[in-house]
Structure 1
């Protein structure tokens, strides 16, 4: 088992066995585990790695050619000067058995050659598709027009990596109690590199203090580092992520929080979506491109925590005046962030183990809301039955009254299906 990426590895293995060259794209925000997935998959396989980094195109091409020569054991004096020349050169290499070529972090290449994805279609048709290879391309940027590009029609697998399952935490820390496990999920997410920093011998607040709340702590600059890697106007993007982290999910609310016009934010929101740092969620009965009720969520729990509690307290942290910061986290954390993280966890359960919760196989499961402030954490339905679900963290009393409220607000949902109600 490789940390709950079995599905992705299985897709790549199946693709490798095709009797022709194939191309796979792996998209995922920074720190989601693209490189770890690749390293696990290519273990003990013949693999050429070409890793993009921030530099001039001439230097990048030179570095790639050096890697190609080393991999194929060639003492070559020819110098390629363009990417087309490079791929033409690569296509001349003798390959006896199927070889994997990993082209990592192409978002760095797109910064210096904005037409690379357009040109890649030509490179594939003329050179790469005629080789006995499995091409795997990774990127932390998923352009919103990718599906309209010609290259997208040639892709065998388009894999979008999301954060790892909640179960990763239970695997790393099987003896934590339920409350601390949920706190850990809320603040650190499921990135193994973050989880490794958690010391089970210390309490939750001590771990937060040691990893985030000092200028030399491991994760003190993590949120800013992620943003600055791909985004020039860091101040605006960071401000948007802060506004979302404290509960402003509608674009109008985000604009009000920042004292800006909604129209001004549009291109910034799209860039954050392209980088998969945020998700746009709509009611389950609507489609994303048509809905007027879109809400924005930060994809990674840790990034949400960082912007909520570290970003705006940098002055206090740098001056070593963190008692007020800790006090605020202790008072605010559970009600602001843990409830939404619990819903995120519960959605995983509904998706993966729905037979535990329903006596039918749902056609669709998702959240629903309207413009009258009526909202359901989840709605699930098949052709006969619909279930309205509320998720409540740390709720020990008054459940009967909550059921009545759930039944009343469900009248706002127009349906002829048999209605059922659940509170978890």
Structure 2
């Protein structure tokens, strides 16, 4: 079976196609972190349509402008167009729209934040072009960027000159878990879960893992080996996306080391509280860090009792296994490091598996339980891995998550204890169910027949 390089993205393509079918001027903003697959998505969408794809670079603004002019000239088949002297992007785009007249054309400007960085007036110039000419035609202009902070602040933000002009926006996120088997045909479900635990659903990372190699080989060759694409990727991303990357690095290192409370992070980093608060907010917006509160917490409790964790699997893995072992990895001892990390990796996968089944799409697909709230619950030393609440129907599903192979006796003990903890939550007059999700559960059918709800990896339906 040949390996696919473009997987899923059905909702994203439908969003773009809907804009294209509108047959009126569209200004769409598409953005998301590096390696998430934005360029591949846009090229896939535009491939059968009249289009111009332009990738901005770190060259000076006017060199970028000349490159864009050259591409537009080639699209028009008009060499004279390439010789006209345009001083700014507004003049260039308005002249282009005049020449295509009523033709439906897709124009993609990728890595748009680089243009802003090189020449801030580009935002006002685009606003002018849109207001005077582009909005009155049939062009579909797509501005794309990898710098999430720049796209949300400079392009989508209230103070942006383009504010109110966009006709739609889409933040690209990871490929859903149930599609990653298409990147690694033939991989067993347990290994697919472990791959997800290491690199998440980032297409560029998944493509580095080779189906002909087993999971352990792929981790050693593609993450832990000096020179590999993923060996320094975390540092590169922090430097590219953030100012003062050293401070963000210190915060992530603290969280990876088990400091989950705000005060603990402040003490571990030695940074001022206000700075830590600001940096944590940025990391949350980027999807790297998550702040979690007990699912039944009041608004007052939620403002004070949040726990922080690294929500991005690649960053979580990198800060746990690459950074602390850097000296050994630099010396070429990747296989040795991974061999002695196996026991700890099993512990690591316990948290990763909990994040996986706690994601809304996986939870619903697996359990069939529709909820209005989903998350962890904790109170006075007691904890439930997942609590799903259907507030409309007054139904609750309590779930324990274990990255283990469980005997029927072990599973029964976990479920009975879960039933006890469920009573501590309260929820009088609610219909309550107790469930267990594990790597493998012996006697699963008997437990289900007794009224428990039990799932294991055999219940995960992953296309390959």
TM-score w.r.t. the length of structure 2 is 0.79
1:351 aligned partner: 361
* 2:132 maps to 1:126: yes
> Which residue of 416, 419, 432 maps to 1:419?
432
The answer as to whether partners of 2:186 and 2:211 remain within 8 angstroms in 1 is: no
**Aligned residue in 1 for 2:103:** 97
User: Are 2:198 and 1:172 equivalent residues in the alignment?
Assistant: no
Contact (CA 8 Å) 2:377, 2:387: kept in 1 or not?
no
Q: Is this contact kept in 2: 1:378–1:388, CA < 8 A?
A: yes
1:374-393 deviations in Å (ceiling 9; x for gaps): 54333223322122222221
Q: Give the match for residue 387 of structure 2.
A: 379
Contact 1:355 1:361 in 2 (8 A): no
Cα distance change of structure 1 residues 327 and 147 upon mapping to structure 2, 3 Å threshold: same
User: Aligned to 2:194, which of 183, 186, 197?
Assistant: 183
Decide whether aligned partners of structure 1 residues 315 and 84 sit closer, same or farther in structure 2, where only a CA change above 3 A counts: same
- Between the aligned partners of 1:186 and 1:32, the Cα distance in structure 2 is 16
Shift of 1:278: 3.8
Contact 1:101 1:133 in 2 (8 A): yes
SS at match of 1:393: strand
SS in 2 for 1:218: coil
CA distance in 2, matches of 1:372, 1:110: 50
Structure of larger gyration radius: 2
Task: Find the residue that maps to 2:141 and give its secondary structure.
Answer: strand
Query: Which of residues 346, 350, 354 is equivalent to 1:334?
Result: 346
Secondary structure of the structure 1 residue equivalent to 2:30: strand
Quote the Cα distance in structure 1 between the aligned partners of 2:277 and 2:259: 15
Report whether the alignment pairs 1:67 with 2:71: yes
Q: Are 1:135 and 2:141 counterparts?
A: yes
| Matching of residue 305 in structure 1 with residue 317 in structure 2 | yes
| Farther off after superposition, 225-234 or 130-139 | 225-234
Q: Quick one: structure 1 residues 292 and 121, their matched pair in 2 at CA, closer, same or farther if it must change by over 3 Å?
A: farther
Give the match's secondary structure for 2:341: helix
Is residue 239–residue 258 contact of structure 1 (8 Å, CA) maintained in 2? Answer: yes
- Worse-superposed segment, 223-232 or 21-30: 223-232
Do the aligned residues in 1 keep the contact of 2:357 with 2:363 (CA within 8 Å)?
A: no
Displacement of 1:423 in angstroms is 1.8
Cα 1:329–1:218, aligned 2, differ >3 Å: closer, same or farther? Answer: same
1:312 Cα deviation after fit: 3.2
* RMSD of equivalent CA atoms: 3.2
Alpha-carbon distance between aligned partners in 2 of 1:279 and 1:156, rounded to the nearest angstrom: 30
**Quick one: structure 1 residues 45 and 324, their matched pair in 2 at CA, closer, same or farther if it must change by over 3 Å?**
same
Which residue pairs with 1:194 in the alignment? 205
> Quick one: which of 210, 222, 245 aligns to 2:221?
210
TM-score of the aligned structures, taking structure 1 as reference length? 0.85
Return the offset for 1:49: 1.6
1:224 offset after TM fit, Å?
A: 2.1
Is the counterpart of residue 219 in structure 1 residue 230 in structure 2? yes
Are the aligned partners of 1:255 and 1:261 in contact in 2 as well (CA < 8 Å)? yes
Contact kept, 8 Å, 1:141 with 1:276, in 2: the verdict is no
Candidates 267, 270, 292, aligned match of 2:278? 267
Name whichever of 215-224 and 244-253 sits farther off.
244-253
Determine whether 1:5 maps to 2:45: no
SS in 2 for 1:40: helix
Q: How far is 1:280 from its partner? A: 4.4
- 1:330 Cα shift? 1.5
SS at match of 1:4: coil
SS at match of 1:81: coil
Q: Is the Cα–Cα contact under 8 Å of residues 27 and 141 in structure 2 kept in the other structure?
A: yes
Q: Which among 388, 393, 402 is matched to residue 398 of structure 2?
A: 388
For 1:357-368, what aligned pairs fall within 5 Å after superposition? 357-358=367-368, 361-362=370-371, 364-368=372-376
Runs (5+) with no aligned partner, structure 1: none
Separation in 2 of the partners of 1:73 and 1:51? 20
* 1:48 counterpart residue number: 52
TM-aligned CA distance change 1:274 to 1:49, over 3 Å:
farther
State whether residues 177 and 362 of structure 2, in contact with CA within 8 Å, keep that contact through their aligned partners in structure 1.
no
Q: Deviations over 1:191-228 (max 9, x none)?
A: 34333333445443332222233323332222222222
* Structure 2 CA distance for partners of 1:390 and 1:99, relative to 1, 3 Å: same
CA 1:344–1:368: 2 relative to 1, 3 Å: closer
* SS state at 1:148 partner: coil
2:171 is the alignment partner of 1:160: yes
Change (3 A) 1:278 1:206: same
Alpha carbons 2:374, 2:389 under 8 Å: kept: no
Query: Is the alpha carbon distance of 1:351 and 1:183 closer, same or farther for their aligned partners in structure 2, counting shifts above 3 Å?
Result: closer
- Structure 1 residues 123, 254: CA separation in 2 closer, same or farther (over 3 Å shift)? farther
